[in-house]
Amino acid sequence: MQGWQLQEIIAGNIRRVRKEMGFTQAELAENAGISSGYMCDIERSRRWPSADIITRLAEVLKMDPFQLLLPTEDSPYFDRHRTLTSFSRQVKEAFEEKMSEVFDNMMQPYGPIRKEEESGDKEPPEDKD
C-alpha cells in the first residue's frame, strides 16, 4: 500500500464517521482543537494529520485511533486486505498441518511416547497426596 492510499483511507474514515455523528467539518475541527481549513485539507487528502491530531479526532469521534487507519468494506483497499488476510490464514494452516505430519512421521519409528498411549484405555495413575 502506498502512502497516498493510506491518506485516502484516513480521510474517508474521518469524513464517514463525522457525517454519521452529525458533525460539520467546522464543528469537528473546533472540538479537536484544529482549524477548519486544516480539517478540510485532511478530509480532501491534501495534508497528513499528525499522530496527535489523529488521536484528538478519534477521541471526538468516539473511536480508537487505529480505526481511522483501517479500510472499510466499501473501500477499494478492503478487498486487497481481505485477500491477503485470507491467504495468510491459509498458509499458516497448511504450514501447521504439514509440520504436524512431518513430526508424526519423524516420531513413528520410536513408537508411542508413553505406555498409556499403547493401549489407549488406561487412565493416568492417581495422585496419592
Indicate the pTM of the whole model: 0.56
Question: What does the pLDDT look like over 23-40, one tens digit per residue?
Answer: 999 999 999 999 999 999
3-69 folds as 434 Repressor (Amino-terminal Domain) (1.10.260)
pLDDT band at 107 (very low <50, low <70, confident <90, very high): confident
| C-alpha cell at position 1 | 500500500
Per DSSP, 47 falls in state: S
Please give the average per-residue pLDDT across 55-62, as a whole number: 96
| C-alpha cell at position 68 | 481511522
pLDDT band at 64 (very low <50, low <70, confident <90, very high): very high
Q: How far apart are CA 6 and CA 68, in angstroms?
A: 10
